[in-house]
Every structure is written in C-alpha cells, then in structure tokens.
Structure 1
Amino acid sequence: MTTHAAVAGSQAERHVAGAAAAERASAAEPQVSRPTRRSRALPGLALAIALAALATGLGHAAAIVGGPVFGIVLGAAAATFVPALRGARWAPGYDVAAKPVLQLSIVVLGTGLPLQQVLRLGGASLPVMLGTLTVALTGAWFFGRLLGVRGHTRTLIAVGTGICGASAIAATIPVIKAKQAQVAYAIGTIFTFNIAAVLLFPPIGHLLGMSPHSFGLWAGTAINDTSSVVAASIAYGGDAGSYGIVVKLTRTLMLIPIVIALAVLTARREARTAAAGRGEPVPALRLRSMPWRKILPLFLFGFLAAATADSLGLIPTGWHAPLSTLGTFLITTALAGIGLSMSFADMRRAGHRPLLLGALLWAAVALSSLGLQALTGTL
C-alpha cells in the first residue's frame, strides 16, 4: 500500500508540475503569437498596397475603367503568372486586405455622403431609383434562374447593378461571405457595362433630346460605379454632372437596407443548415431573437456614422477630396488582395452565363429608368 501511495504521490507531483509548466507556456504565448500574426500579414498586405498604388495610377490615366477594377485585374494577373504569390506566406496579408481594409473603405466613403443634399435634391429621384432597384433585384432572381446563375454570383451582380457597382459589391462581400472567384466575376461584369454605358449613354441621351437633369437622373440610376456616372454625365454637358452625382449618392444609401436584409437572410440560411445537420426542425424566424450583434456588420454603423458626421458639418469641406481618394484607394487595395487570392482560370470556370445575366440586368435597369421617368414626368 505504501509503495502504491508513493507512486500515486509521484504521479500527482508530475501532473501538477506539468500543469504549471503548461500554464507558464500559455501565459507566455500571447506575447509571442500576436506580433507573429501581424508580421505574417505584412508581405501579402504590402504587395496588395503596391498593386493598389499602380492600379490607382492606371485609373487616373484611364478614368473610364477606374483604379478598383485595375486593382483586381492586376492582382489576378500577378497570381496567375507568378504562382508562388498564392503560397501560404502571402495569404494572411491578402485576408487582411480583403476583410478589415475592405470594411474600412466603406466607412471612409461614407464621409462623402452629405445627407441634407441627398434629401434636398435626391428626393425627386426616389421613385425612379426605387423602381430601378426593384427591377435589378427581381430581374436577377428571374434571369438568374433562367440562366442557371445562382448563389453569391447572382447576388453580387444584382447589388452591383442595382446600387453602386464595386462599392456595393465590396459592402456585400463580408456579409454573404462570397468567394474570390464570385467577386471577380461580378466586378468584371460590372466593369464591362460601365464602359458600355459611358460610351453609349451620352449619344443616346442627345438622340432622345433629354435635358441635362433628365440625363443626370438616367445616369445616376442606371450606371453602376460613381466614376462612370461622372464620366457620362460630364460628357453630356450642362449641369447633368452635378445632378447625376447627387442621384448616385442617394442611390448609395440603398446599401444600408440591402446589406441588412442580406445579413438576415444569410443568418437564416446558416441556422437552417445547422438545424438540418443536427436533424432538428428549422427554427421559426423571430426578429427579437435574431443575433443582431453578429448579423449587422460593424462597418455598416461606421458608414452611417460617417455620413451623419458629414451632414452635421463635422468633416471640413477641404477633407472631402482626400477622404474620397483614401476610400477609393482602400477599396483598390482590398480588391487587389482578392485578385491575388485567385487567378483568371477561376473566372473562366464560371462560364459566360454570369456575363449574360449582367447584360440583361444592365439593359433592364437602363430601360426601366427611362420608362419610370416618362411615367413620373421627369423625362
């Protein structure tokens, strides 16, 4: 018995000593692991920033394309022609660019949304704007089913066409957790029809005899990215440029309800999947019991707070241009990181159907904008 007790005592001592050593190791671990994680992100993030700088320069030279599109193209090209850039050493930095940097870009862009100006001049455009947004979303559902384009690709093309191009896609990515190939295809589709709109809208507007206000409303509700709205509206002449920009800013506010709705639908889908995996019935949807803190992304509140701060005059007028440039650069950095995580082969596998979906939605939104203007007497 004494021998057994001695052995047990010895084992207990070894167990206590081992536990103490483990505690000391775990206590020391955060001091090492945190800076290590940050340093692991530096190479990939630095590369994304460098490509974003190059893309921004190209975007200034070819404003019709814009820096963000160049960002994802350069990233995808680099990953395609230099396969080593898709290695584990670079991935943490790409992830930082595609998530925190992307979310920060949306907050910064909110500083360029003066709500009082939107309410004063954009109210008249609201019927046309809501109508075209409805056409874009319902058209994506209908044509998407018809063409066999489903899932996140369809959603991203819909919000990009219906709201504000790359910015809307950027705001939607973290909510629905889209894959890089889906993002790239959606942005490529939006980019294609941005160029088509800039080239075609002004001559069509003159052919129809549209006033500058009518054309600004058409451009602001039917062209995707802000840069393309500006390019087409200024090319048309008169005050179409300033009016088109205000309409476009008003349209950008539609991000808030759309992102919230997508967040709720995503949470509901995840709950249904989890319940099916456990063999349990799908829980009933109760808004009060929804995990709102997890559903509503923090950057959405930041976006609204930034717009409110600008409306209250808390952001000096001289800061608007630098902040707009910063926001666009952050989006370009994020898209470069996304591009670096994929290759053109990923896009080729998606086929031609998403591009056809984008074409149908683009035409439907452009025609419905003209039709709604005719019905409301603003054409």
Structure 2
Amino acid sequence: MALLHQRAASPPNPPNPSSPPRPAAPGKLPGLAMAVGGVALAWGVHALLPVVPMLTAAVVLGIAAAHLPGVRAKVRGAGKPGLTLAGKRLMRVGIVLLGLKLSLDDVLGLGWATVAMVLAVVAATFFGTLWLGRRLGLRGDQPLLIATGYSICGASAIGAVSEVSGSDEEDVATSVALVTLCGTLAIAVLPLLHHPLGLGDAQFGRWAGASVHDVGQVVATAQTAGQAALGDAVLVKLMRVALLAPLVAAVAVSARGRRRGVVQASGKRPPLVPLFVLGFLAMVAVRTTGLVPGGVLDAAQHAQELLLAAALFGLGSAVHLPSLVRTGGRVAALGLSSWVVIAGASYGGVLLTT
C-alpha cells in the first residue's frame, strides 16, 4: 500500500528532451494576412477596371490563389485556418453592416405593388431553383445555397444561409463561384437588352435590381442607364436583401430539426435566429431612425465592402476546380435555368407594376 501511495504521489515523468517537438498547428494569422492581401489586390483590380466590382474580383482572386502552383500549397496548408475564419466570421460582421444600407422608409416608398413583385420574384426563383437542383441530383446543400444566392443577394446570402445550415465548405465555395460568374455576366448582358426589350430607364433599373445577384453587380449594371435607373435598382435590390433575415430564420428552424440527434448528443441547441441576423435587423432599425450621420454610413459601407471582400476571398480559396468540373454540367444547367427564371419573372413584374 505504501508503494502504491508513493507511486500515486510521485510527479509525472518529465518530457524527454531528446524526443522531437510536436509540430505546432498553423495559426490563423497567415490566412488572415492572405485575405488582406487578396482584398488589396481586388481593390486594385476595381480601381483599374471600375466595371469589375471589388467583391467579384475578390472571389476570382481567391479561386486563382487556390490553384496557382506557387501559392496553392500555402493556401491549403498554413493559410487554411485563417481563410476559413475570414469566410465565416468576417462574413457575419459584413452582413450585419449590410443592414445599414436599408431603410424601411425607402422600401415602402416604392409602393406595395413593387413590394409584392419582389416577393413573387424571390419566391419563384428560390423554390424553382431548389426543386430543379434536387431533380438534377446535385450534392449536399448546393441546391439550397444556389437558390438562396440567385433569389436574395448573391454570395452574401449564401454565406449567411451556410452559417445556419452547417453546409459543407466545398458546397459553399462552388455555389459562390457559380452565382458570382452569372452575376458578372449580367453586367455585360443586361445593358444590351435595355432597349430591345422596350424598357424605360427607371424600368431597366428595377429590372436590374430584381434580377442581378450582388449589390455591386446591380450598381455596375444599372448605372449604364443613368442615375434615375441606379436609384431604383438599389432600392429594389435592398428589398431583396431585407428578405435575407426571414429566409435565414426559416433555414435555422429546418436545421434545428435535422440536428436533433446532434443536440441530444452534445446538449447544445442551435439558435432559432442567429445573432448576426438579429444584428442585421438592428442595423436596419438604426438606419430607419435617420439619426446616423452620413459620414458614419459611408465609413460603415467601406468597412462592409472590405469585410465581405475578405470573406469572399476566403470562400474562393476553398473552390476546387476539378470537383467543380465533375459536376459542372448539372451546376451550369441549374445556374442558367435559375437565371432565366429570375430575369423572366422580374421582367414581367416590372412591366405589370410600372
């Protein structure tokens, strides 16, 4: 018994100094530094080519970094933790600040007919894309994410929904790449259809706001028809952004059901409404008060763009082109079909409400 007591009381053996040290896990700083560099490059691309939105450039640069021979090993190795952090945490903060772009007074000023049109277009695009994606047999959450990106606000919406659905990182990256590609093509294609479709400038602006995915892409598309078109386009687009909160809440409710077994195992229950969605709604309320100075709104907009650019660079770096090529035909078919649905539905809606 004394021997057992002596053994129990003796301190643990010290580590053997001759044994090799364990390699430290890579921290988040290298990946965050890569994201900052990607944002700087994206800003430079936008400065040289204003027609290319900074967020679009950030996604493309992230995809390029993940495949360049001299860089991809660092991106998928030491840089991965930080890039993943950028793609998730910075995305949430950027979405919260996105709420400062939206005022309820601006939305209601467009009239109830326009509000109803936007609701109908979003619903038709979301459920139509989701149904077709399942029929095409796309993997995982790709149909949900693509439907969200096309119907609401592009990559930002995909990032928000993926946070509550627990989507696979590769599914998120593939969906972001597809929505970004189609939104970029819209910048060149839609202005060519302005006059052949018989649309006035204000009608064209509303059509762009209702059918183009990302806010920056809407601005780049609508500005070709003048300031009046641009103003209507941004307001209609922000109405779609406002639908992000109820959609994310609905997905969160669905995810709670799917994760019931995980909840029982871990004792943790996912929130009904994610904190960043509440933050988004709070920023909408703050903007509606009209008490926020213009300088603060401008600074918040710049911060939001930088944060989303860093997040999209991180998401782009997770794209694996060989995997995208393997499902490219079905993904491209879904993207094209969804683009036709939202463009056609919004065109009809604009004609009926103006």
CA distance in 2, matches of 1:137, 1:304: 21
The aligned residue for residue 145 of structure 2 is 156
- Shift in Å at residue 322 of structure 1? 2.6
- Shift in Å at residue 345 of structure 1? 2.6
Q: CA RMSD in A?
A: 2.6
Counterpart contact for 1:125–1:217, Cα < 8 Å:
no
1:169 aligns with 2:158: yes
- Shift in Å at residue 95 of structure 1? 2.3
Percent of aligned pairs with the same amino acid? 33
The aligned residue for residue 101 of structure 1 is 90
TM, length-normalised to structure 2? 0.87
The count of corresponding residues between Structure 1 and Structure 2 is 340
Equivalent residues in 2 for 1:25-174, closer than 5 Å: 40-81=27-68, 82-121=71-110, 123-174=112-163
Distance change (3 Å), C-alpha of 1:189 and 1:62: farther
Counterpart contact for 1:140–1:154, Cα < 8 Å:
yes
The answer for unaligned runs of 5 or more in structure 1 is 22-35, 278-289
Which residue, 331, 344, 355 being the options, matches 2:332? 355
Deviates more, 1:42-51 or 1:121-130: 121-130
- Shift in Å at residue 97 of structure 1? 0.8
Counterpart contact for 1:170–1:331, Cα < 8 Å:
no
Counterpart contact for 2:209–2:236, Cα < 8 Å:
yes
1:260-311 CA-to-partner distances (Å, cap 9, x unmatched) read 1111112211226788x9xxxxxxxxxxxx94x6342211111111121121
Q: Which amino acid aligns with 1:55?
A: A
The aligned residue for residue 332 of structure 1 is 309
- Shift in Å at residue 246 of structure 1? 0.7
- Shift in Å at residue 340 of structure 1? 2.8
Q: Which amino acid aligns with 1:7?
A: L
- Shift in Å at residue 11 of structure 1? 4.4
Distance change (3 Å), C-alpha of 1:113 and 1:122: farther
Counterpart contact for 1:40–1:93, Cα < 8 Å:
yes
**Of Structure 1 and Structure 2, which has the larger fraction of its residues in helix?**
1
Which residue, 344, 358, 372 being the options, matches 2:321? 344
CA distance in 1, matches of 2:345, 2:226: 23
- Shift in Å at residue 325 of structure 1? 1.9
Q: Pick the structure with greater CA Rg.
A: 1
Equivalent residues in 2 for 1:248-327, closer than 5 Å: 248-271=237-260, 291=269, 294-327=271-304
